[in-house]
Amino acid sequence: MAGPILVFDSGVGGLSVVASLRRRLPEAALAYACDNAMLPYGMREDDWLVGRILEVCESAVAASGCAGLVVACNTASTLALEALRERLTVPVVGTVPAIKPAAGMSETRHIGLLATSATVGRAYTLRLIREFAGDCRVTRIAADPLVTEAERWVAGERPDLDVLRRTLSPMAQMPDLDTMVLGCTHFPLLRDWLIEFAPRPVRWVDSGDAIARRAGQVMADHQRRRGSETGWVTAPSEALSRGLSGFGFAETRLLPLS
For 24: left if phi > 0, alpha if psi spans -120 to 50, otherwise beta; the answer is: alpha
Given the residues 34, 66, 73, 136, the one annotated as active site: 73
Long-range pairs of 193-201 with CB within 8 A, sequence gap ≥ 24: 193/159, 193/161, 193/164, 194/164, 194/168, 197/161, 197/164, 197/165, 197/168, 198/168, 198/171, 199/168, 199/169, 199/171, 199/172, 200/171, 200/172, 200/174, 200/175
The answer to whether 222 is a known ligand-binding residue is no
The answer to whether 121 is a known ligand-binding residue is no
In the residue annotation, 73 being an active-site residue is answered as yes
The answer to whether 228 is a known ligand-binding residue is no
The answer to whether 186 is a known ligand-binding residue is yes
Neighbours of 4 (CB within 10 A): 24
In the residue annotation, 66 being an active-site residue is answered as no
Integer Cα distance of 103 and 129 in angstroms: 9
The answer to whether 74 is a known ligand-binding residue is yes
State the distance between the two ends of the chain, measured CA to CA, in whole angstroms.
27
The answer to whether 9 is a known ligand-binding residue is yes
C-alpha torsion sign, points 39, 66, 22, 72: positive
The answer to whether 32 is a known ligand-binding residue is no
Task: Using alpha carbons only, give the angle 96, 101, 106 rounded to the nearest 5 degrees.
Answer: 130
Given the residues 34, 57, 136, 184, the one annotated as active site: 184
The answer to whether 106 is a known ligand-binding residue is no
User: Binding site: residue ranges?
Assistant: 9-10, 41-42, 74-75, 185-186
User: Binding site for substrate: residue ranges?
Assistant: 9-10, 41-42, 74-75, 185-186
Catalytic residues: 73, 184
